[in-house]
């Protein structure tokens, strides 16, 4: 009986966090946070927002969630007005990643963004880019977009930086990546890079456990 109750409590706790998803606190996202639309492209926002300034190197995204652990990756589009997943693909059709998928633990964190280290052509000071963070805390992939202009004169405000002491994430390990100038020795506690193929399976984790409990 005790075992049954603890299983039920676990199942209930898992269900009760499903609605919180994840939210980005920096930089500005496309449109107000809309929890219900997070499984959709750019949280359901098709129109790019007014762009905010973002560092050319050593930028980061800060996020909060009630899920842990999670799988995180960040896509990049150089389209002036990205409105579909295709705008975030490489010429050969795969995800155009600025941060490879990795595993994060905890209910808040930050992801290092180094647009010039990702092997994507045409990225320089003044470029308009859109970042799309993909977050999977066990209830499917969720999406938030940030429309920015890269500016090497822009410094992230110190009250925001104070929330990012251990940035996580690495550029994709493709041979075209340019890792020169990529910071090392930070965020070492944070998550190994996992392959994109494994990523799909991780998303099934919580759903699989629930299916067994509820069966």
Ligand X SMILES: *[C@@H]1O[C@H](CO)[C@@H](O)[C@H](O)[C@H]1NC(C)=O
Q: Which of 87, 95, 136, 139 binds Cu ion (CB under 5 A)?
A: 139
Q: Which of 16, 178, 186, 195 binds ligand X (CB under 6 A)?
A: 178
Q: Which of 85, 149, 205, 209 binds ligand X (CB under 6 A)?
A: 149
136: nearest Cα among 67, 209, 33: 67
Q: Which of 17, 34, 64, 202 binds ligand X (CB under 6 A)?
A: 64
Q: Which does 151 bind (CB under 5 to 8 A by kind): ligand X, Cu ion, none?
A: ligand X
Instruction: Report the residue number, 72 or 199, with the smaller CB distance to ligand X.
Output: 72
Give ∠ CA 159-17-13 in degrees, rounded to 5.
130
Report the chain's terminal Cα–Cα distance, integer Å: 17
* Segment contacting ligand X by CB under 6 A, of 82-90, 132-140, 148-156, 195-203: 148-156
**Cα 90 from Cα 77, distance rounded (Å):** 9
**Cα 138 from Cα 140, distance rounded (Å):** 6
Question: Does 183 interact with ligand X (rule: CB under 6 A)?
Answer: no
Asked if 49 and 31 touch (Cβ cutoff 8 Å), the reply is yes
Q: Which of residues 103-132 bind Cu ion (CB under 5 A)?
A: none
Question: Does 136 interact with Cu ion (rule: CB under 5 A)?
Answer: no
155 prior amide bond cis, ω within 30: no
Minimum distance from residue 110 beta carbon to Cu ion (Å): 19
């Amino acid at each position: 009986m005790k075992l049954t109750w603890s299983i039920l409590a676990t199942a209930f706790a898992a269900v009760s966090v499903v609605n919180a998803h994840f939210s980005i606190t920096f930089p500005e996202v496309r449109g107000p946070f809309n929890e219900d639309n997070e499984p959709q492209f750019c949280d359901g926002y098709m129109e790019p927002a007014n762009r905010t300034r973002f560092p050319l190197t050593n930028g980061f995204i800060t996020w909060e969630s009630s899920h842990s652990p999670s799988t995180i990756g960040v896509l990049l589009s150089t389209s002036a007005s990205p409105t579909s997943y295709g705008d975030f693909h490489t010429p050969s059709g795969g995800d155009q990643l600025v941060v490879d998928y990795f595993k994060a633990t905890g209910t808040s964190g930050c992801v290092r963004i180094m647009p010039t280290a990702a092997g994507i052509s045409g990225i320089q000071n003044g470029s308009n880019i859109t970042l799309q963070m993909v977050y999977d805390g066990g209830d499917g992939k969720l999406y938030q977009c940030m429309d920015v202009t890269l500016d090497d004169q822009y410094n992230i405000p110190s009250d925001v930086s104070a929330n990012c002491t251990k940035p996580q994430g690495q550029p994709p390990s493709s041979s075209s990546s340019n890792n020169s100038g990529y910071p090392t020795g930070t965020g070492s506690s944070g998550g190994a890079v996992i392959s994109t193929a494994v990523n799909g399976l991780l998303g099934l984790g919580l759903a699989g456990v629930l299916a067994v409990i509820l069966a």
